[in-house]
Structure formats: structure tokens, C-alpha cells
A and B are shown apart, each in its own frame.
Chain A
């Protein structure tokens, strides 16, 4: 059962990601991207990361993609002009493919030799996913958590200052 869902959603993630690249219209790209994030959230559910699956839909498919679609509408883009494909880009893509095929051959198929952590499925089932996560988030990870809030504030202030019209 898990295999069937994994194959269907994995295949749909790949297809929608390819459509993001190959769609001519930028708005269509953005909408295929929302679909891609949605199928990726299903994969997170299969990996029993429910909280991340919810965050994926709220933050990525909701907030960030809405932001991108607003930007596309504000910029009033024309269709992307066709330019001849440059030789350097072809070489770049081929080199990239070779690099990652190597990665696929070497990396996939081996597990990481690491010490197993304390968070077993039984623990998750007993206390609940979010309860276990919040215990870690507000003890071990409290400094990165606060730093993330500072980063987001700095990002918003920077965006406002960059996009503000200069008043003469």
C-alpha cells in the first residue's frame, strides 16, 4: 500500500516539477509548483513527518507561492523571448547530469552509519508527533528558533526597504 502511494505521488511530483520548468507561461509554472509542493507533502506524510507536511502546505504552497504569484502579477511579464541555446549552457547541463548520476550511483543504496537516536515510533505514538517535537524545539533548538525569528524580521524589513519607491 505504502509503495503504491509512494510511486504515484513520487511520479506526480516529478511530472509537476518538469511542468514547472517547461511551462511557457510564468503563472502556469507557479500553479504547477503548488501542485508539486502538495504531492511532496504527501511524501512527508508517508515518512511520518505530519507536522512538516502541514507546514509544507501552509508555508510553501500557501504563503511563499502566493507571494510569488503576487510578484508575477505586479511585474506584468511578457512571454519569455526565445533566444538561441548557448553552447555553454548545454555543456553545463551535461556536466550536471554526469555529476548527479555519479551521486546516484555512489550515494543511493547505502545507509548512513550513525547512532540511532531516542525518537522511536513508539515514543511518537505515545506522546504524539507535535508534543515530542515541541519538547525538542524549546529545549535543544531554542537558540536556532530565536535566530530564525530575527532572520524573518530582517528579511521583511529588507524587502520593504528594497521595494519602496524613493520619495523625492
Chain B
């Protein structure tokens, strides 16, 4: 057991809820993107807490690969936002309905 393990886990759940509420309620696509980053951070905290509790490095490596995926996702996501801004003049997520029928 890590000291104060429950506090870390409760903190991660609270952060995840904050990120999810922001991703649902905000309309600006970049803020939604940052809320997803908050949720990823909360998951990273859980990985490190349990990795340390089990005396393993697997949690740390999972976090490293999450960071690599987040960097690639940021590059592609922001390119998509720039493309949408050029086409629509806004990045309000409610105007992103190209694939809706």
C-alpha cells in the first residue's frame, strides 16, 4: 500500500469528473480538448498510484505511452480544428455536424 492511497484515488476520480463535465458542457472545441487532457491526467494518477502500490514499473510505462499518444493526438486534433475553422469560421462543437444525417 502507498501512504494515503485512497486520497490519491479519490483525487483522480474528482479530476476525471471535472474533465468529463467540462467536455460535455463547454462548446469551444479547444476547451473540450483541454478537458480531455484533464481526464487523461486523472487516469495517469491512478496508473502511478497502483503501479507504486504493486512495486511495479508498468504504471510508469503506461503513463509514458499515454503521454506519447496525447502528443500525437494534440498535433492531429489541432490540425483538424484549424481545418474546421477555415471551412466554418468557428470551432463551436455544435457546428461540427458534417457526419450527422
**Which chain A residue lies CB-closest to B67?**
A59
CA distance A92 to B55 in the complex (A): 38
Contact residues on B (Cβ < 8 Å of other chain), bracket: 35 or more
CA distance A112 to B64 in the complex (A): 22
A75 and B38 within 8 A (CB): no
Shortest distance from the beta carbon of A52 to any chain B beta carbon, whole Å: 5
CA distance A49 to B8 in the complex (A): 14
Contacts of A37 in B (CB 8 A): 41
Known: A51-B60, A112-B53, A162-B80. Is A96-B71 also a contact (CB below 8 A)? no
Known: A10-B7, A18-B18. Is A83-B27 also a contact (CB below 8 A)? yes
A-B contact count (CB 8 A): 207
B3 and A59 within 8 A (CB): no
Contacts of A132 in B (CB 8 A): 57
Select one of B48, B55, B85 contacting A116, CB under 8 A: B55
A92 and B24 within 8 A (CB): yes
Select one of B38, B68, B74 contacting A17, CB under 8 A: B38
Q: In terms of DSSP, what is the predominant structure of the interface of chain B?
A: helix
Contacts of B91 in A (CB 8 A): 75, 77
Those of B34-90 within 8 Å (CB) of chain A: 34-35, 37-38, 41, 44-45, 48-58, 60-61, 63-65, 67-76, 78-83, 85
B7 and A111 within 8 A (CB): no
CA distance A115 to B58 in the complex (A): 13
Interface residues of A (CB under 8 A from B): 2-3, 6-7, 10, 13-14, 17-18, 20-21, 26, 29-30, 33, 36-37, 40, 43-44, 47-49, 51-52, 55-56, 59-60, 63-64, 67-68, 71-72, 74-75, 77, 80-81, 83, 85, 89, 92-93, 96-97, 100, 103-104, 107-109, 111-112, 114-120, 132-133, 136-137, 141, 144, 148, 151-152, 154-156, 158-160, 162-163
9 smallest beta-carbon distances between A and B, as pairs? A155-B72, A117-B56, A21-B22, A162-B79, A159-B79, A159-B75, A148-B68, A163-B79, A71-B78
28 contacts between A and B (CB under 8 A): A2-B3, A10-B7, A13-B11, A13-B15, A17-B38, A20-B35, A21-B25, A26-B30, A30-B34, A43-B8, A49-B51, A52-B60, A52-B63, A60-B67, A68-B33, A71-B30, A75-B81, A81-B27, A83-B27, A108-B6, A114-B54, A116-B56, A117-B58, A152-B72, A156-B72, A159-B76, A160-B79, A162-B80
